[in-house]
Amino acid sequence: MNNRVSSKTVVDLDFDKQHIWHPYTSMTAPIPCYPVTSADGCLIQLQSGEQLVDGMSSWWASLFGYNVPALNQAATKQLGKMSHIMFGGLTHQPAVDLAKTLVEITPDGLNKVFFSDSGSVAVEVAIKMALQYWQSLGYAKPKFVALKKGYHGDTFAAMSVTDPDGSMHELYQDFVAKNYFTKQPTIAFDQEWNDSEMYELTKLLEEKHNQIAALILEPIVQGAGGMHFYHPNYLKAVRKLCDQYNVLLIADEIATGFGRTGKLFACEHAQISPDILCLGKAITGGYMSFAATLTTKKVANTISQGKAGVFMHGPTFMGNPLACAVANANLAMLFNSDWKLLVETIALQLQQQLTPCNKLKAVNKVRVLGAIGVVELHQAVDLASIQKQFVDAGVWIRPFGKLIYIMPPYIIKQSQLTKLCDAIFQVCEELSK
Ligand SMILES: *Cc1c(COP(=O)(O)O)cnc(C)c1O
């Protein structure tokens, strides 16, 4: 504390360790952090001088890498007008433009847009929408159905629909609302479909639908809960069951949205539209935190004509113009690029270069979908030591549990992706010794 005004140009790692919490870490025994000074394209510049190829897209968020001229320009231009202005009683062109684009590109029927500040909040908003919808119609439906191994965020309503077993959320279980969980879809994306997959969920809905406001899922890819890719027919069947049993369907595309799985939205693999859709992460191309929850005219109007007469949510930074401007530039880049070809090319290379890991003893199985590559091990890794091995190999990959996975920016070069895949193979080979 004696050195309040630091003249240091290097990151004060000691202060960081003493005073700053990082995601999901201990304050007394934190895993080492690597100071970053800048990032450009797919390269992360460490303070030590090393450059790392980015395999994580900063947790699904970056599509075109870092320090992107068009995004910088959009941000700078918007800063000169206004960085922020309250959204209560005021509106602006960046928000209108973004909403127009989102209505146009998302699955049919989703044409009412609620902007918020992060993915977890977008999920909270979706949950409130579903509750208020049924309330407005005079039903008491206070429960939700979610999938085991699902992940929807770290705030409390989001936690209440995130897998309660083996996740950190069980720490708060006495406080978290109790919802229903159905088994994780077991039939993989490219396996043969069997209707028996739906048996348990059908039974649950048959018995409990009177209490259930909505079913929430991550379409096709269950992300943080296990990087599992499931069959599109599951989504189709869920859509049918929700209609049959008067349950809304919430699709959480916070991780899968904007092309990551090979379709613009993962719902398109099954050609279904949810009643409520959550977007986040890549919406600003990884530049800043922003999210949106979209719903149908039917849901929005029902809420608006209910007892409250309004939808009860309104974050301070709702519709932040700076984030909207960057999101608009990011989506313009996406549609001006051949993103589908970029994602397919990454998928092909991931297939070719990660598949050899299958023969290693430490590896359980390899799977690839779109620009997502996963090597599932038999045993959980030691994060600190494996992270160092990856940094030494010149790549940024952050595994969790038994999963080593990458989802690089779409503009990654072939040689950079090879470097990521080679590093994974080497680390798995080492683990197999
Ligand atoms: C990351 C994520 C969230 C939470 O988003 P935050 O911006 O971290 O709050 C919710 N759902 C899914 C599927 C996610 O991947």
157 and 235 in a single domain? The answer is yes
Mean pLDDT of the chain: 96
Q: Judge if the beta carbon of residue 123 lies within 6 A of ligand 1.
A: yes
28 and 165 in a single domain? The answer is no
The 10 Å Cβ neighbour count of residue 163 is 22
Out of 275, 309, 336, a domain closes at: 336
Domain-embedded: residue 5: no
141-150, 157-166, 243-252, 384-393: range with lowest mean pLDDT: 157-166
253 and 374 in a single domain? The answer is no
What would the pLDDT profile of 49-78 be if each residue is shown by its tens digit? 999 999 999 999 999 999 999 999 999 999
Element (H, E) at 51: strand 51-54
Predicted local confidence at residue 171, as pLDDT: 84
Expressed in angstroms, the distance from the first to the final Cα of the chain is: 47
Out of 277, 312, 336, a domain closes at: 336
Q: How confident is the model at residue 169 (pLDDT cuts 50, 70, 90)?
A: confident
The burial of 364, by beta-carbon neighbours within 10 Å (0-12 exposed, 13-18 middle, 19 or more buried), is given as middle
Global pTM? 0.97
* Distance (Å) from CA 280 to ligand 1 centroid: 7
Domain count, the chain: 2
Predicted local confidence at residue 1, as pLDDT: 43
pLDDT for residue 209 is more than 90: yes
Predicted local confidence at residue 188, as pLDDT: 97
Element (H, E) at 250: strand 248-252
61 and 179 in a single domain? The answer is no
Angle between helices 339-354 and 414-431 (to 10 degrees): 30
417 and 329 in a single domain? The answer is no
Domain-embedded: residue 136: yes
Do β-strands 363-369 and 372-377 pair in parallel, antiparallel, or remain unpaired?
A: antiparallel
- Mean pLDDT within 394-411: 97
Predicted local confidence at residue 164, as pLDDT: 84
pLDDT for residue 148 is more than 50: yes
95 and 105 in a single domain? The answer is yes
Q: Hey, what are 326's tokens?
A: 């960057």
What would the pLDDT profile of 331-376 be if each residue is shown by its tens digit? 999 999 999 999 999 999 999 999 999 999 999 999 999 999 999 9
244 and 374 in a single domain? The answer is no
Predicted local confidence at residue 225, as pLDDT: 86
Closest by Cα among 203, 196, 156 to 179? 156
Predicted local confidence at residue 166, as pLDDT: 67
Beta pairing partners, 296? 110
89 and 123 in a single domain? The answer is yes
In the block, tokens 């595994």 appear at 399
- Domain containing residue 371: CATH number: 3.90.1150.10
Q: Judge if the beta carbon of residue 151 lies within 6 A of ligand 1.
A: yes
Closest by Cα among 148, 152, 112 to 132? 112
Amino acid sitting at position 24 = Y
Q: Hey, what are 6's tokens?
A: 């630091």
91 and 179 in a single domain? The answer is yes
Which ligand 1 atom sits closest to the C-alpha of 253? 13
392 and 381 in a single domain? The answer is yes
Q: Hey, what are 142's tokens?
A: 């206070």
Residues belonging to the active site: 24, 151, 252, 281
Query: Which of the pair, 184 or 4, is modelled with greater confidence?
Result: 184
169 and 266 in a single domain? The answer is yes
Cβ proximity of 169 and 146 under 8 Å:
no
Its domain, for residue 391, covers: 13-67+338-431
**Strand arrangement, sheet containing 276-279:** 110-116, 291-296, 276-279, 248-252, 212-217, 143-147, 180-182
Out of 336, 356, 388, a domain closes at: 336
384 and 425 in a single domain? The answer is yes
Residue of 281, 289, 293 best suited for mutating to test ligand 1, as the one with most atoms within 8 Å of CB: 281
Residue of 62, 117, 120, 405 best suited for mutating to test ligand 1, as the one with most atoms within 8 Å of CB: 120
What would the pLDDT profile of 3-26 be if each residue is shown by its tens digit? 454 445 789 999 999 999 999 899
Domain-embedded: residue 131: yes
Domain-embedded: residue 3: no
Q: Judge if the beta carbon of residue 120 lies within 6 A of ligand 1.
A: yes
3-state secondary structure of 157: helix
Cα separation, 203 vs 222, whole angstroms: 22
Cα separation, 123 vs 127, whole angstroms: 6
Domain-embedded: residue 300: yes
What would the pLDDT profile of 253-276 be if each residue is shown by its tens digit? 999 999 999 999 999 999 999 999
What would the pLDDT profile of 277-315 be if each residue is shown by its tens digit? 999 999 999 999 999 999 999 999 999 999 889 999 999
Domain-embedded: residue 405: yes
Domain-embedded: residue 51: yes
Q: Which long-range contacts (CB under 8 A, 24 or more apart) does 132-140 make?
A: 132/303, 132/306, 132/308, 132/311, 132/312, 133/213, 133/248, 133/299, 133/302, 133/303, 133/306, 134/213, 135/306, 135/307, 136/302, 136/303, 136/305, 136/306, 136/307, 136/308, 137/302, 137/306, 140/211
Q: How confident is the model at residue 165 (pLDDT cuts 50, 70, 90)?
A: confident
- Domain containing residue 106: CATH number: 3.40.640.10
Domain-embedded: residue 153: yes
Q: Which long-range contacts (CB under 8 A, 24 or more apart) does 17-25 make?
A: 24/168
Q: How far is CA 193 from CA 79, 237, 367, in A?
A: 51, 11, 18
Amino acid sitting at position 292 = A
Which residue is closest in CA terms to ligand 1's atom 11?
A: 152
Cα separation, 276 vs 65, whole angstroms: 29
Q: How far is CA 414 from CA 47, 180, 286, 349, 408, in A?
A: 26, 44, 21, 8, 11
Amino acid sitting at position 138 = G
